Amino acid sequence: NFIDRRLKLDSAAALGCAIEEHPRPFDGVEGFTDALERYTRAGFMVDQAHRRFEQHRARRLRSELPHFARLKEIVGQLRVGYRAWADGLASDFSELCRARGVLPDEALLQRTLYEREVHPLIRGRDRVAVLLVDGLRYGMAAELAAEFKESGTRITLNARFADARFFWDDDGKLP
């Protein structure tokens, strides 16, 4: 029906627009804090739009649809565009790691989350629930945080880097 077709087109348009609006979030990035701020401010929107598009595509794109071949072509074009965007993001982040080493400040690492964020709240005897959304899924965490906020729950959404020391040499440099 019309609503199903519109949702497919909306998610495709949202992905295309997100890529166009945020073509290189890490271009000229100054450091890890800057990279994290840029990704959590805007870069994640491209990943989020891609996830939503692929979910809608998986649920609704069927071979019996009119213009199926053209729709598949558009899907392919969007995937190529997203892949190029993701490759650029990875390349720019790799350049940051080459320039600065791979270890950001400890305050930005996942392994310090408890001592820096959770423990101070527990000492204050607040009720605390910690939800970790891992695997570059900041967009999903942002959606979940928005739902909790709507119910009146106090939310703090922070992004962290995984500690990848075991991938690098002793100086934290790429080989």
Query: Any alpha helices (H) in the chain, and if so which ranges?
Result: 2-21, 32-38, 44-60, 68-100, 113, 119-123, 138-150
The whole-number pLDDT of residue 23 equals 96
Q: Which pLDDT band holds residue 1 (cuts at 50, 70, 90)? A: very low
Rounded to the nearest 10 degrees, what angle do helices 44-60 and 138-150 cross at? 90
Task: Decide if pLDDT at 89 tops 60.
Answer: yes
Higher pLDDT, 39 or 130: 39
Tell me how far CA of residue 89 lies from CA of 31, 58, 158, in angstroms: 14, 25, 20
The whole-number pLDDT of residue 135 equals 65
* Predicted structure pTM score: 0.81
The whole-number pLDDT of residue 3 equals 45
Higher pLDDT, 17 or 121: 17
Higher pLDDT, 51 or 71: 51
In this prediction, residues 75-103 reach a mean pLDDT of 92
The whole-number pLDDT of residue 136 equals 65
